[in-house]
Amino acid sequence: MREQHLRPSPISATVDFEADGVQHGFLRLPYSRDDSAWGSVMIPITVVSNGEGPTALLTGGNHGDEYEGPIALFDLALKLDPAEVRGRVIIVPAMNYPAFLAGTRTSPIDRGNLNRSFPGRPDGTVTEKIADYFQRVLLPLADIVLDFHSGGKTLDFLPFCAAHILADKQQEAKAFECVAAFGAPYSIKMLEIDAVGMYDTAAEEMGKIFITTELGGGGSATAKSAGIAKRGVLNVLRHAGIIRGEIEPQPTEWLDMPDADCFAFAEEPGLVEFLVDLGDTVERGAVIARIYPTGRTGAEPFEVHARMDGLLIARHHPGLIKAGDCCAVLAVRV
Amino acid sequence: MREQHLRPSPISATVDFEADGVQHGFLRLPYSRDDSAWGSVMIPITVVSNGEGPTALLTGGNHGDEYEGPIALFDLALKLDPAEVRGRVIIVPAMNYPAFLAGTRTSPIDRGNLNRSFPGRPDGTVTEKIADYFQRVLLPLADIVLDFHSGGKTLDFLPFCAAHILADKQQEAKAFECVAAFGAPYSIKMLEIDAVGMYDTAAEEMGKIFITTELGGGGSATAKSAGIAKRGVLNVLRHAGIIRGEIEPQPTEWLDMPDADCFAFAEEPGLVEFLVDLGDTVERGAVIARIYPTGRTGAEPFEVHARMDGLLIARHHPGLIKAGDCCAVLAVRV
Amino acid sequence: MREQHLRPSPISATVDFEADGVQHGFLRLPYSRDDSAWGSVMIPITVVSNGEGPTALLTGGNHGDEYEGPIALFDLALKLDPAEVRGRVIIVPAMNYPAFLAGTRTSPIDRGNLNRSFPGRPDGTVTEKIADYFQRVLLPLADIVLDFHSGGKTLDFLPFCAAHILADKQQEAKAFECVAAFGAPYSIKMLEIDAVGMYDTAAEEMGKIFITTELGGGGSATAKSAGIAKRGVLNVLRHAGIIRGEIEPQPTEWLDMPDADCFAFAEEPGLVEFLVDLGDTVERGAVIARIYPTGRTGAEPFEVHARMDGLLIARHHPGLIKAGDCCAVLAVRV
Amino acid sequence: MREQHLRPSPISATVDFEADGVQHGFLRLPYSRDDSAWGSVMIPITVVSNGEGPTALLTGGNHGDEYEGPIALFDLALKLDPAEVRGRVIIVPAMNYPAFLAGTRTSPIDRGNLNRSFPGRPDGTVTEKIADYFQRVLLPLADIVLDFHSGGKTLDFLPFCAAHILADKQQEAKAFECVAAFGAPYSIKMLEIDAVGMYDTAAEEMGKIFITTELGGGGSATAKSAGIAKRGVLNVLRHAGIIRGEIEPQPTEWLDMPDADCFAFAEEPGLVEFLVDLGDTVERGAVIARIYPTGRTGAEPFEVHARMDGLLIARHHPGLIKAGDCCAVLAVRV
Amino acid sequence: MREQHLRPSPISATVDFEADGVQHGFLRLPYSRDDSAWGSVMIPITVVSNGEGPTALLTGGNHGDEYEGPIALFDLALKLDPAEVRGRVIIVPAMNYPAFLAGTRTSPIDRGNLNRSFPGRPDGTVTEKIADYFQRVLLPLADIVLDFHSGGKTLDFLPFCAAHILADKQQEAKAFECVAAFGAPYSIKMLEIDAVGMYDTAAEEMGKIFITTELGGGGSATAKSAGIAKRGVLNVLRHAGIIRGEIEPQPTEWLDMPDADCFAFAEEPGLVEFLVDLGDTVERGAVIARIYPTGRTGAEPFEVHARMDGLLIARHHPGLIKAGDCCAVLAVRV
Amino acid sequence: MREQHLRPSPISATVDFEADGVQHGFLRLPYSRDDSAWGSVMIPITVVSNGEGPTALLTGGNHGDEYEGPIALFDLALKLDPAEVRGRVIIVPAMNYPAFLAGTRTSPIDRGNLNRSFPGRPDGTVTEKIADYFQRVLLPLADIVLDFHSGGKTLDFLPFCAAHILADKQQEAKAFECVAAFGAPYSIKMLEIDAVGMYDTAAEEMGKIFITTELGGGGSATAKSAGIAKRGVLNVLRHAGIIRGEIEPQPTEWLDMPDADCFAFAEEPGLVEFLVDLGDTVERGAVIARIYPTGRTGAEPFEVHARMDGLLIARHHPGLIKAGDCCAVLAVRV
């Protein structure tokens, strides 16, 4: 067993995962540095437990600039009454907490992308220590895992909930039931081409029911997009039998991302003008966006073309684009 | 006369403002610095002229992270045919060009906010030199001035076109005719409480017809918001008789910002959750947004209340908010 | 009158200086910037009033890395009961608030040293706007002004309270009575060689009773040094008749700084070893400190000598010293 | 043997460890970088040898912002006469030399904490290369090792000398004899909970007599604290028989740190006010410090309580504290 | 086989290495980061192929501040006509492309020195991913490899072409024939003392004919130095039979660097005055340079002496020098 | 008189300008900042005096990355024997001393370009305080002023000495006699189009004999270029009768810069390839340099053309060029 060879996690929790009731506390991660020789990162955590039942692990802030998840989970941590619960709910609204505080995708401490850092290391960077703690302590406690994502500061998405195509079809079916229960406006079946280092994969390899979302982006959240997250998490807890009550049924449209032609990249930098918006459909070969060179007026813009027929489900958010940036993502209706 | 005491602008134009036809060139501003002893800032400019007629001065990028204006103007500079023109169109898609290249509100060189730097100085900072050139060279050439704004990276707006309440009611009336011609979804009469240092004021004090816009924000533009800008500028040029053709008529809703109760500020930092979206109406005292303290779960959020009945016309964009940030702006329907 | 030509301060207070009772609020200073287009600096302020009587203006954080003043004033703001007060107490625990939040002497926004920025400007930098507000709004309200200082991160002081030699001997006498009332372990009569731009001078030129302190340093405070500040401010309020009760009498030693020979500067950079500590006496010509060149072992250290007989009242704090740094300050017993 | 698989250290010494007399030189560590393609880090070193006898390895600057050690060792390197020596003294006043030059705990090059980098790597970061050189070259030469520490810029300590509880009780006893000889005002028996990566452990695992100190902090040194270091190092060399003469006997108080309740952490950021000073005693449950929220006046401070009866032996130094910082450390008298 | 255990490179090429004709494209390296969640590094590449024949791999920008190679290769990519070619020419003018864009020796992303990063890792830093792609994809395609270097911003060189002393004398002989064909003013036989991590070694260990250059430096190129590069690369392609025509014969002087006495390092920082220029000869013991301490006038400069007779072939370029910098390199005529 | 209204300079000299003999000292400029509350900038200065005679003021480091002047003046300060002198020599090898220490054109403290900061201000930035001290203290002491320049890190020059066309033809003639005495390989008559803020103008307006140089560049100096400076300064002192002995006669070529067509600017950024080197002649219309776009291979380079017949006397130094950078400067032989 890999875990046997590793030293214990340096992270200590101020909450007791076995106690009933509501506990608000911290995962304390020692972090010695120039401005605090004996400092720590204090990751907020809430545990709400009530007797026997399944455990849900609910996470946001895996990337620090994505906000629907943290909003729904700070709200849930404040409101969830143990009397309503059967089992256990573990809430970490901001997994990569240093990134969340900085409002950046990656950690300002070590530039770690938490979702490419699994299984982590107990003696690695701060980000790797967080991954290791989830890998060896929190994921093993969970039956069902919901990890919220959005587009962050540089991408914008149509709101969807998703699970992965898995080898274990029973596990896969349960995950998609969960996606349906969540009730986002769109739902996607994802086949990850490269899932190495992801939290998703870590959870799935342990046999957990894992679902994720993309609920907007641009480094912001709206009342509408946060509402989808808040309703979705309650629906998932109801579906799992952890809280009582009926799922609020929502219409959803199922989408598919067939292959790498979904993605359109910029080959030149400049000022980007989109000719279609999220949710619009385009035909193969159509111009999705124009990129104006910023060095002079009167120069022809570079064009980004659709490589397949589809629906625009994601786009580059900032007004300027760099060569190599993903400009647009298309999907097809199932 | 103030101008007589000032040394000439150090900026030289590579275009001839008196020549007919299309010219794409630069405003070259000498800028000596560590990484270029004899360097310059090269601000792109296009002039399209054809015989007698009025002059329109069209500008974007007054703040460097606002994109509808630059998109509409890089596009117009590329497409405008002098044969269609009667008079002259001067296009500067990115006034505060260093800020535009950096994608920031203010200049990365001197942190100058161009729209608070007028009338500028020929021997001041780079931003002040740009202001001075507009003050003493470009504005005097113009009859009508359209300056595009949006919310930038930290604010988001309902799309509107606006002009100011002015002492000269004839000048004011002409400006509002121009606003109506622009045809944005919303139109606003603005009474600036403090207009010192603004480009707007500089233009108005010279008796120019001056209109401006707020067309979105969040540091991005959509096909829809850029479309409003592209149609609006053509409508304004048609209205002015500089290009031929009929104005595309658009429905617009007229709004008013009666007093300082329009603005709601955050007194605490945190994760912001809006309970209403742009265009929604709220009643006085209603909670517009909640601000969750990010230090721990289980703490009550701070609430931001509406100080009047109104329509949400602007909001803080980033997911995190700081104490003192403007959280929300309300307006009333006229 | 100079003030008549100036535009009004952009700062607005959320407290009413004329109302009785306790008010905790803010001085809101609009500060537009890249990360908040419509942001503000929110400087905390407390006003405690009760009927007729003198006004004391109490300030800390004039330099942002000096802590005895802010501790005593955050504490006083929390505890002061209007029922105990006759007159008015205005408390601003952190004048240069951006510097205080950053833990730096000067403002991180504009590198402004607030105590060299008076009388300030309403259209200047953030630091100049703060100075202007004190100059034109707060100082005119005050009868007595107590401004706390310490050595900050780079100097360390023996704890003393001080006032200046003034042309108006009646004003001067009242100030030294106040110094005596404060009751610091040491008390100093200061003759500033260059007082231009100081808050002290601004207050004194308006005829206010002005006293100041240096209560420690090194970017920290101890229970002992904070205790001196907390006791001193109460003693001053009692002395002024604003709060009831007897002054707690304290022994103090009076010192004098006769001329520029008080100061000893480093001419070489290196690792500094002091041979005497604060409060020790030295004779003229004695070695106060040795400065080891850090480039190699075995090199002779540079010596810093006393230029007069005296008591070490201040020293360079950090372990490394640069050429030109003030290494030591001596004073003589009166 | 691990060492056999490693490539040789890239560090070359300009001194000959086998030669008699005094040599001042460098450990030259090649460091290619943008501002010097073929640059090096030049770590000063002094070797004083005279015939047969034990070798003492004396180090400071393991953390770059701790000054008593470097002062005592730059001084000793300058003054130690080989005629007084029997055996060999190797002096490296600033182990993590880039950190020492920067005045920071960790290296500005790679942010390496040298005391968590052992055994190091010859092909790793600059900090790892230094660790590797001590691990494979310098430690094997030594019989007795004295490594000076202090609190650095962010902690402040009562002055003590210490050694570790070891499995080899004979080795342990010799180390504590050395601690006693050093003669600091306090002496501590330390049981490290996690000693992985420490220089201490590297030395002890080779069977060396290893002692360390904490002699003050705050990023400074006083005449008094440097005096403890200078006297202590001579006492240790006398104790070891390397230099002649009697140990200067000093009173010392022996302390113990029984368990993790010694440590009190901050859970909220703010302005910290200590209610006790170093060397004061507190009872379990007493308030050690108050933390004022800096966002507004009139808010209740957060309190840090003692979790056991004890003596305050270390505290957070800066005036501001962050959530997760170690606020206070208690010990008990033996 | 090591390669079998590695995951595939994340880099994808937009060119087809097996197709005839000219292709200009990119090596697209996915690089997720705060300012582009789904961004990429786009390394320009040109492939010119025509039927059977050997493959030359031509590279510049291994270090990002060396310019003769990129100039010669951007020029060649533009001009090389497949009709002239027999075989294949793969041109990567800027290997460490992020470093090249930044004008720095190492990558601004990860500070990676590409020429010390071989064999690289597919899951490592951006620089390691580039190294891995050359190691596993491009080098295996090549028969002959020419990697251009110069001194960069901090060194300046006499212009030379070089190859290494190799165990395989046949391989070595072929490489030196190639050096002779290149025709630089100087030619050098190099015995690398430590060749670990170098691109050179990676190529040589695969049995490729590998040559390199140093053609100037100071972070610039002249018409003359770029001319040497442009002529040299054509000569090498002619020599290899890939393009037709006769080699332009050039006089060259063969040099040797016998041992570590070639190098002279600075032990003190300061303002450097060279007493000899590149190409001048010095005798052992002569003063090559003086280093003035910059802290004061009137202090004696430190002297850097020649440790052998020789020709100055390289020198520190910037006007200031740091302790540990390589000041001068000497070579001897063969 | 302007000077009467100004407060005294805060700079104090540790040398006595009226004393005979050699003095090495400092201009101490108080500079309070975060890392030194009572710090100073210590500008090295040497004064060598001997009885009656003219005063020469010799300066280098007006821009901090130009090295021939500082080398010649640190050397001269060390060697000049008062016995050889008749009159007075004031040597400031590094006028903008903070810039010189940083190796940058402008001051790292305030980004001040000293040569555009005259007449300066005693209460301005650090750079303005230096200018003010030269304006009001040092220039009035001088009869003849020699200010050394070179191209710095971003330009490279043919070595020349120069003076300005002046209204006072007697003053002008004396300056050109001085230029001839200096004996650089080239000599230029300069007509500054905009001389506002220059040290040159400040000196000339006081009627001083003022000469300047450009002696190389690229942020370095060679034995040859430093030799020109060292010989030139002695020749000037001999010419002025301040030191004895004959001027070493040198051949010089006189050049002229007739108008703004001398300058060729880049309009596109990229990798620059010069087709001519310093000292080469070009014809009007010829391609001086090509600029390769760095975004892709196979794109046509932008060309920079000569706008007149002439000799290349200056060029952009770095390998990359930005839009707006001065690429080349031509002059004509007289």
**Over chain A, what is the mean pLDDT?**
95
Interchain proximity F156–E220, CB inside 8 Å: yes
Interchain proximity C218–D219, CB inside 8 Å: yes
Chain B residues touching F197 at Cβ < 8 A: 123
Identify any residues that bridge with C162 across adjacent strands, giving them in sequence order: C188, C212
Chain B residues touching A22 at Cβ < 8 A: 298
Residue of E10, E28, E37 with shortest CB distance to A324: E28
Chain A residues touching B224 at Cβ < 8 A: 277
Helix (H) or strand (E) holding D244: none
- What are the tens digits of pLDDT across the range B65-113? 999 999 999 999 999 999 999 999 999 999 999 999 999 999 999 999 9
For the domain spanning A263-333, the CATH number is 2.40.50.100
Residue of A269, A295, A323 with shortest CB distance to F268: A295
pLDDT at D3 over 70: no
Count how many pairs of residues, chain E against chain F, have C-beta atoms within 8 Å.
140
What pLDDT is stored for residue E190 in this prediction? Answer: 82
Q: Would an 8 Å CB–CB cutoff place F216 in contact with chain B?
A: no
Residue of F28, F37, F40 with shortest CB distance to C155: F37
**pLDDT above 90 covers what percent of chain D?**
93
Q: Would an 8 Å CB–CB cutoff place D86 in contact with chain E?
A: no
Identify any residues that bridge with E59 across adjacent strands, giving them in sequence order: E92, E147
Q: Would an 8 Å CB–CB cutoff place F31 in contact with chain C?
A: yes
| C-alpha distance from A4 to closest chain F C-alpha (Å) | 48
Instruction: Return the exposure string of B150-167: e unless at least 16 CB atoms fall within 10 Å of the residue's CB, then b.
Output: bbbbbbbbbbbbbbbebe
Q: Would an 8 Å CB–CB cutoff place C322 in contact with chain D?
A: no
What pLDDT is stored for residue C156 in this prediction? Answer: 98
- Give just the sign of the alpha carbon dihedral B305, B311, B314, B320: positive
The token pair at D229 is: 């270091």
Chosen from B5, B14, B26, B38 to mutate, greatest number of chain F CBs within 10 A: B38
Residue of C nearest to D92 (CA): C297
Residue of B220, B222, B224 with shortest CB distance to A318: B220
Distance between the two ends of chain E, CA-based, in angstroms? 41
Residue of A nearest to B45 (CA): A297
| C-alpha distance from D102 to closest chain E C-alpha (Å) | 15
Q: Would an 8 Å CB–CB cutoff place A288 in contact with chain B?
A: no
Chain F residues touching E67 at Cβ < 8 A: 271, 319
The token pair at E56 is: 């030359």
Domain ranges of chain D: 2-255, 260-333
Confidence of residue A5 (pLDDT cuts 50, 70, 90): low
pLDDT at A2 over 60: no
Interchain proximity C7–B196, CB inside 8 Å: yes
* Amino acid in position F40: S
Q: Would an 8 Å CB–CB cutoff place B295 in contact with chain D?
A: yes
Residue of B nearest to D294 (CA): B268
Residue of A nearest to E40 (CA): A324
Q: Would an 8 Å CB–CB cutoff place B26 in contact with chain A?
A: yes
Chain B residues touching A103 at Cβ < 8 A: 318-320
Interchain proximity D40–E265, CB inside 8 Å: yes
- What are the tens digits of pLDDT across the range A235-277? 999 999 999 999 988 899 999 988 889 999 999 999 999 999 9
DSSP state of B268: S
What pLDDT is stored for residue C248 in this prediction? Answer: 84
pLDDT at D309 over 90: yes
Q: Would an 8 Å CB–CB cutoff place F154 in contact with chain B?
A: yes
The whole-angstrom separation of Cα C102 and Cα F34 is 11
**ipTM given for this complex:** 0.96
Confidence of residue B5 (pLDDT cuts 50, 70, 90): low
pLDDT at A329 over 70: yes
Q: What is the rounded average pLDDT of the residues D184-213? A: 91
Interchain proximity D320–C103, CB inside 8 Å: yes
Q: What is the rounded average pLDDT of the residues B307-331? A: 97
What pLDDT is stored for residue D122 in this prediction? Answer: 95
Residue of F nearest to B38 (CA): F326
Interchain proximity E65–D34, CB inside 8 Å: yes
**Over chain F, what is the mean pLDDT?**
95
What pLDDT is stored for residue E204 in this prediction? Answer: 97
Q: What is the rounded average pLDDT of the residues C205-215? A: 97
Chain C residues touching E295 at Cβ < 8 A: 268-269, 323
Residue of E267, E268, E295 with shortest CB distance to C323: E295
| C-alpha distance from C59 to closest chain E C-alpha (Å) | 40
Spell out the CATH class of E261-333. mainly beta
pLDDT at D4 over 70: no
- Tally Cβ neighbours within 10 Å of residue A174: 17
Interchain proximity C39–B151, CB inside 8 Å: no
Q: Would an 8 Å CB–CB cutoff place F33 in contact with chain B?
A: no
| C-alpha distance from F141 to closest chain B C-alpha (Å) | 29
| C-alpha distance from B63 to closest chain D C-alpha (Å) | 30
Q: What is the rounded average pLDDT of the residues C102-125? A: 96
Domain C260-333 in CATH 2.40.50.100? The answer is yes
CA distances from A134 to A39, A57, A72, A272, E262 (A): 21, 10, 20, 39, 54
Residue of C267, C295, C323 with shortest CB distance to E323: C295
Residue of B7, B28, B37 with shortest CB distance to F154: B37
| C-alpha distance from C105 to closest chain B C-alpha (Å) | 21
Residue of A65, A226, A300 with shortest CB distance to B273: A226
Identify any residues that bridge with A41 across adjacent strands, giving them in sequence order: A29
What pLDDT is stored for residue A258 in this prediction? Answer: 87
The whole-angstrom separation of Cα E213 and Cα F161 is 36
- What are the tens digits of pLDDT across the range D252-300? 999 999 888 999 999 999 999 999 999 999 999 999 999 999 999 999 9
Q: Regarding the domain delimited by D2-255, which CATH topology (the fold level of the hierarchy) does it fall under? A: Aminopeptidase (3.40.630)
**Over chain E, what is the mean pLDDT?**
95
Chain B residues touching C40 at Cβ < 8 A: 265, 324-326
Residue of D111, D152, D324 with shortest CB distance to A40: D324
- What are the tens digits of pLDDT across the range B40-61? 999 999 999 999 999 999 999 9
Interchain proximity C268–E295, CB inside 8 Å: yes
Could you read off the pLDDT tens digit of each residue along chain F, which spans 334 residues? Answer: 344 468 899 999 999 999 999 999 999 999 999 999 999 999 999 999 999 999 999 999 999 999 999 999 999 999 999 999 999 999 999 999 999 999 999 999 999 999 999 999 999 999 999 999 999 999 999 999 999 999 999 999 999 999 999 999 999 999 999 999 999 999 998 877 667 799 999 999 999 999 999 999 999 999 999 999 999 999 999 999 999 989 988 899 999 988 889 999 999 999 999 999 999 999 999 999 999 999 999 999 999 999 999 999 999 999 999 999 999 999 999 8
Pairing relationship of beta strands A55-59 and A144-147 according to DSSP bridges = parallel
pLDDT at A3 over 70: no
- What are the tens digits of pLDDT across the range A39-71? 999 999 999 999 999 999 999 999 999 999 999
Q: Would an 8 Å CB–CB cutoff place F312 in contact with chain E?
A: no
Residue of E nearest to F27 (CA): E296
Between positions 93 and 152 of B, the ones with CB within 8 A of F are: 123
| C-alpha distance from B196 to closest chain A C-alpha (Å) | 29
pLDDT at E5 over 80: no
Interchain proximity C267–F42, CB inside 8 Å: yes
- What are the tens digits of pLDDT across the range A307-327? 999 999 999 999 999 999 999
Q: Would an 8 Å CB–CB cutoff place C254 in contact with chain B?
A: no
pLDDT at B1 over 60: no
